[in-house]
Structure 1
Amino acid sequence: MNLFKRLFKLSSAEAHSAVDKLEDPIKMSEQAIRDLKTDLDNSLQSLAEIKAIAIRSRREFENASADVEDYKRKAMRLLQKASVGELSQEEADKLASGALEKQNQSQQVAERSQVEKDKYDRLSADLEYKIQELKGQISQWENELKTLKARAKVSTATKKINRQMAQVDSSSTISTLEKMRSKVEEEEALAESYGDMIQSSRSLDDDINQALNKSGGSNALAELKAQMADQSSEKKPGV
């Protein structure tokens, strides 16, 4: 009842093909465990049948043993009746002989039943041991299958991530970044160029007016200072 034997119940070629192609081992394991549980159910049914035979054999032994003692007592009573004159000796001997013959037959039945009882008791004990062992194996394999399922999920996720990472073209990524950098530098240079064009487009009149504005600002400052000086001198005589 090895699990791996269950996994390869198909022909040898088909089994090797399944492994080579990495067909779903989880489903195969689940099917193997289902098969083992079916075997367990069949074994339990067989155990019940064997126990039933053992029970019948024990009852036959007990009944036959009781008959042995009963026929012995009857033979003794018949002989006792002859001894007290209740039966003729000839009739008592005949009936007692018949009772002893029945006793002998019952003894044979008891011995045969005892042999069968002992046989089926041993078979029952052996089968019970194997059933318990099979239950333990099924429980162990079910736990291992749970672990296998968890590991399969992790490995599948890991494989997917690794595959995606492996498909990333590093050279393509670097090329894209270089193009972006070149584009940004081009835009920056263009902006600076437009700035230079603005400066170069100023006319001579713009430069003259700018110079005059600066001078006008200086004259206004001088006039303001002069006014303040005049105001200060007008206040002094009145002091």
Structure 2
Amino acid sequence: MNIFKRLLKIGQAEIHALVDMMEDPISLTEQGIRDMKKQLHDSTESAAKVRASIIRSENLITEKEQEAAQMAEKAKLALSKAQTGELTTEQSERLAAEALLIKKRILEEVQALSLEISEHAGKREEINKHIEVLQFNINKWEKELTTLRAKQKVNEAASMANQQMANIDSNSTLDMLQRVKNKVANDEALAEAYAEMAQNKIELPDEQKAVQDELTALKKQMGID
């Protein structure tokens, strides 16, 4: 019994538990489907062979029934020859009896062939039911396989995302963010310093003017031209 048959024979809960422990349930399902397709091929061949045997037996029955009919005619013919004087009564009855004996044996063969056909028909019916079950299960598990493959892709994507998240060092991330914050603060302070320097340059001519006015006033007070 292959592993897939064993899988189908255990309970639903055990199936889920077993699948959870498997490294690759998809490969197992694929193998199970291949096993069932092989059984389907073999069963189809068996059904065809049984049907061929039934056809041969039916043809043979037709031939035997014709032979039996011929023996019955020979028995009648033998008896009629006694009436016409071609044979004595003893001879005609002996020939007729021989023909009827052959007919009886032929009909016994026909009966045996009929029983054989009945048995083969029963076997063929069982095989056909098995074929129907296999076809149903193959279709079912092929759909399940499609679902499993889709789930596997989702799980692989989620696993990769989780792995990437797990590989992130939170401390190094915080350090990086702090460096960014410090750089921004430094850039802001530098920008502010440049702004102050620019303001000082703008105010410088006003200071020089004030000094020059004061100097002019002083010279005028002292009477200096």
TM beyond 0.5: yes
Structure 1 pair 142–209 and aligned structure 2 pair: CA distance change class (3 A): same
Contact 1:7–1:32 (8 Å) recurs in 2 = no
Name the amino acid aligned to 1:156.
Answer: E
Question: Using the alignment, how far apart are the partners of 2:159 and 2:42 within structure 1?
Answer: 42
Segment drifting more, 45-54 vs 55-64:
55-64
Contact 2:4–2:28 (8 Å) recurs in 1 = no
Segment drifting more, 80-89 vs 181-190:
181-190
Structure 1 pair 213–41 and aligned structure 2 pair: CA distance change class (3 A): farther
1:41-56 matches, cutoff 5 A:
41-56=41-56
Question: Using the alignment, how far apart are the partners of 1:125 and 1:144 within structure 2?
Answer: 29
- Structure 1 gap ranges (5+): 9-17, 217-239
Higher gyration radius (CA):
1
1:60 to partner: Cα distance: 2.2
Structure 1 pair 180–106 and aligned structure 2 pair: CA distance change class (3 A): same
Match status 1:96 vs 2:65: no
Structure 1 pair 77–185 and aligned structure 2 pair: CA distance change class (3 A): same
- Structure 2 gap ranges (5+): 9-17, 217-225
Question: Using the alignment, how far apart are the partners of 2:54 and 2:191 within structure 1?
Answer: 104
Residue 31 of structure 2 aligns with which residue? 31
1:7 to partner: Cα distance: 6.3
Residue 169 of structure 2 aligns with which residue? 169
Compute the RMSD of aligned alpha carbons. 3.4
Contact 1:67–1:103 (8 Å) recurs in 2 = yes
Residue 106 of structure 2 aligns with which residue? 106
Residue 180 of structure 2 aligns with which residue? 180
Question: Using the alignment, how far apart are the partners of 1:33 and 1:132 within structure 2?
Answer: 15
Question: Using the alignment, how far apart are the partners of 1:77 and 1:175 within structure 2?
Answer: 120
For residues 27-57 of structure 1, what are the alpha-carbon distances to aligned partners after superposition, in whole Å with 9 as ceiling and x for unaligned?
Answer: 2211221121111111111111111111122
- TM-score normalised by structure 1 residue count: 0.72
Residue 138 of structure 1 aligns with which residue? 138
1:82 to partner: Cα distance: 0.7
Residue 221 of structure 2 aligns with which residue? none
Name the amino acid aligned to 2:93.
Answer: D
For residues 116-137 of structure 1, what are the alpha-carbon distances to aligned partners after superposition, in whole Å with 9 as ceiling and x for unaligned?
Answer: 0111011111111111111111
Question: Using the alignment, how far apart are the partners of 1:104 and 1:215 within structure 2?
Answer: 160
Question: Using the alignment, how far apart are the partners of 2:75 and 2:64 within structure 1?
Answer: 16
Question: Using the alignment, how far apart are the partners of 2:77 and 2:146 within structure 1?
Answer: 74
1:1-239 matches, cutoff 5 A:
4-5=4-5, 22-192=22-192, 207-212=207-212
Percent of pairs identical after alignment? 36
- TM-score normalised by structure 2 residue count: 0.76
